[in-house]
Amino acid sequence: MSGSRSERRGVRFTLLGTVDVTVAGERIDLRAAKLRTVLALLLLGRGSLVSDSRIAEMLWGHTPPVTADAQIQTYVSRLRKILGETCTITRLRPGYVLDVGPARLDLVEFERVAAAGRQAAAAGRTAEAADLFARALGEWTGPALAGVTDCLEAVAAPDLEERRLVVLEERVAADIELDRHGGLVAELTGLVGANPLRERLRGQLMTVLDRTGRQAEALSCYHEHRRRLAVEMGIDPGAELREIYRRVLASTPAKPARPLPRTQHQVPAQLPPDIADFTGRTDHLATLEALLRPDPDRSSAAAAVISGMAGVGKTALAVHAGHRLRAGFPDGQCYLDLRGTSAPVRPHDALAKLLTGLGVPARDVPSDVDERVRLYRSRLADRRVLVVLDNAVGEQQIRPLLPGNPQCGVLVTGRARLSALPGVPVVDLGVLSQAESLELLSRIVSKQRIQPDPRSAERIARLCGGLPLAVRIAGARLVAKPHLRPVELAGRLADRGRRLDELQLADLDVRASVGLSYRSLGTGARRAFRLLALLERATFSVWNAAVVLDVTVGEARELTEQLVDARLLEVPDQDRYAYHDLVRAVAMELVAEEDLAVDRFAALHRAHASMEYSTE
């Protein structure tokens, strides 16, 4: 009862049928195909940025109108009004990000339940698996993405339909194993007719026909398919279908083959490749090696947390340190991305991944999280294994993943400091020095390219603010464009209006990386992040923040500390706060896009007043 009431009060999105949204139990009429298309694109993005160009292409094809940007903004504005405060659409150049919060999305539920079905099937719980697969398929109310533009339907619907058919095949396989043949012949006949080249469905139909005493029809089903392939494509049926045909001929009912047990990897080697151009961090590496060095007198697992702002190189340092420490952990190295800035992995799921990596077959992984913890720690007993847990979101995510064996090592990275983990020291990672930034740029681009114009190279390194991600992108731009001279890139980066656009290449993007931290904040902290960027000072006090935000000093302190915890503000001195230049650039974009002009001007007036009358 309470669950249904909660769902009625919340927001529910539908993609597996007509694209729809239900708010507080009331279906919202999205009449326009283009409005449905924008909503569907943002939902399919799963919290990732969807670019303006992608939206325009899916709305108008390859010939968008000159007013495309304005029309997209109008559609986004309408969606914001529809969704209210439960879900937020954030402008992050060059696109938009939808955070659905606690809202229910049928596609996510479909995938979650289907994954549970696969786990049950792997563990031999076939009846449970069949029921779960049927529940997952129940999320579908019609053809996926109905009501969107033809462009989006043509691009995205086939992938969703393929996922539906795979789960349908898995449900049929479970029903066959349970000898639930009633009704399957009619269902499979229709499915084979609609998908004549899908051999798994045809093989399942042949199997059911064979088991129900209709061998002649099973053989006819095979020959029809063989003739069609020969005429249209000049090929033979696949090996699996030929095997089912041979079994029917021999009158031996085809039992579906159980998956082979997974090979046990006794020595996991899961670290990503080392970074060939790793630069600097000498003191940090020495600290980590001292903290994680094997010690027979240690009473708990050696552990350390690497913490720092977005793009500062936490993962690179952890991976590089992990490779240097391999000799001290001869029984293996486990690596797991906990996705703390996007879709955090639950400890329950993280333990399953770690256990399978340690050689436990999926069917033997317990369903209860406490049992998984016990098995995980038992597997690590008397073994020297290094566990690297990348991109953690909080202490609750990490605690169940800590080994009990004191001879194991754990290296955790995260934007939060995770200081509540007992006995685990935090290694704070700052930006690179100017010399280290220049050295990294030279390693990426080559010294031969940099040496003819060292001043431009130094300027590029300085404009990147010592942020390794920014330096890497700048270097990659020079590598990707041999005709681009360092002096030209330096000039582009000097333009504040386009600096963030230049610091974006392929899947590397400073704006998007900082945006992940911004999206993790509450409404008040987001507003503070935007408005405090209007303070034209290198540093500011909590009093300055209180004036700009028009709140009490106590409230301002709480908000600024939230930004510090999210690594969006730095504390260069006692009771002083500062933005990194690139983080401020993101905040300035956001304040222009998300705050009304009247609010910006009022905050700007207060900012000037706070600086004029400040005696600090």
**Where residue 214 sits, what CATH number does that domain have?**
1.25.40.10
Q: Which domain holds residue 471?
A: 434-506
Asked, for residue 204, whether it belongs to a domain, the answer is yes
Nearest to 504 by CA among 96, 94, 137, 124: 94
H or E segment at 556?
helix 553-565
Asked, for residue 574, whether it belongs to a domain, the answer is yes
Same domain, 418 and 448: no
Same domain, 144 and 10: yes
Q: Please name the residues in contact with 432: beta carbons below 8 A apart, sequence gap of 6 or more.
A: 279, 280, 313, 440, 466, 467, 468, 471
pLDDT at position 22 over 60: yes
Q: If you average pLDDT over residues 66-81, what whole number do you get?
A: 89
Q: If you average pLDDT over residues 547-572, what whole number do you get?
A: 93
Q: Which residue has the tokens 């010690």?
A: 295
pLDDT at 96: 93
pLDDT at position 1 over 80: no
pLDDT at 9: 52
Whole-angstrom distance, CA of residue 170 vs CA of residue 130: 8
Asked, for residue 453, whether it belongs to a domain, the answer is yes
pLDDT at position 475 over 70: yes
CB 354: neighbour CB atoms within 10 A?
Answer: 26
H or E segment at 23?
strand 20-23
Same domain, 465 and 551: no
Residue range 400-434, pLDDT digits in tens = 999 999 999 999 999 988 988 888 999 999 999 99
Q: Is 371 helix (H, G, I), strand (E, B) or coil?
A: helix
Asked, for residue 272, whether it belongs to a domain, the answer is no
pLDDT at 397: 93
Same domain, 216 and 286: no
pLDDT at 86: 76
Q: Which of 428, 453, 468 is the last residue of a domain?
A: 428
Same domain, 159 and 191: no
Asked, for residue 274, whether it belongs to a domain, the answer is no
pTM here is 0.61
CATH number (domain holding residue 362): 3.40.50.300
pLDDT at 265: 43
Asked, for residue 592, whether it belongs to a domain, the answer is yes
CA 181-186-190 angle, 5° bins: 130
Higher pLDDT, 471 or 193: 471
Same domain, 286 and 396: yes
Whole-angstrom distance, CA of residue 332 vs CA of residue 168: 38
Q: What confidence tier does 447 reach under pLDDT thresholds 50, 70, 90? A: confident
Same domain, 517 and 391: no
pLDDT at 612: 66
Same domain, 421 and 467: no
Nearest to 403 by CA among 423, 376, 372: 376
Q: If you average pLDDT over residues 383-389, what whole number do you get?
A: 94
Q: Which of 411, 428, 445 is the last residue of a domain?
A: 428
Q: What confidence tier does 4 reach under pLDDT thresholds 50, 70, 90? A: very low
Same domain, 187 and 175: no
CB 338: neighbour CB atoms within 10 A?
Answer: 25
pLDDT at position 234 over 90: no
pLDDT at 598: 85
Same domain, 319 and 349: yes
Q: What confidence tier does 2 reach under pLDDT thresholds 50, 70, 90? A: very low
CATH number (domain holding residue 555): 1.10.10.10
Whole-angstrom distance, CA of residue 19 vs CA of residue 423: 50
Domain count, the chain: 5
Whole-angstrom distance, CA of residue 412 vs CA of residue 417: 10
Same domain, 26 and 108: yes
pLDDT at position 261 over 60: no
Same domain, 228 and 130: no
Asked, for residue 273, whether it belongs to a domain, the answer is no
Asked, for residue 112, whether it belongs to a domain, the answer is yes
Residue-wise DSSP of 267-321: S-B-PPPP-TT----HHHHHHHHHHHS--TT-SS-EEEEEE-STTS-HHHHHHHH
Whole-angstrom distance, CA of residue 231 vs CA of residue 486: 59
pLDDT at position 497 over 60: yes
Percentage of the chain exceeding pLDDT 90: 46
Q: Is 387 helix (H, G, I), strand (E, B) or coil?
A: strand
pLDDT at position 550 over 50: yes
Strand intervals (E) in 402-460 = 409-414, 426-428
Q: Which of 428, 454, 479 is the last residue of a domain?
A: 428
pLDDT at position 257 over 50: no
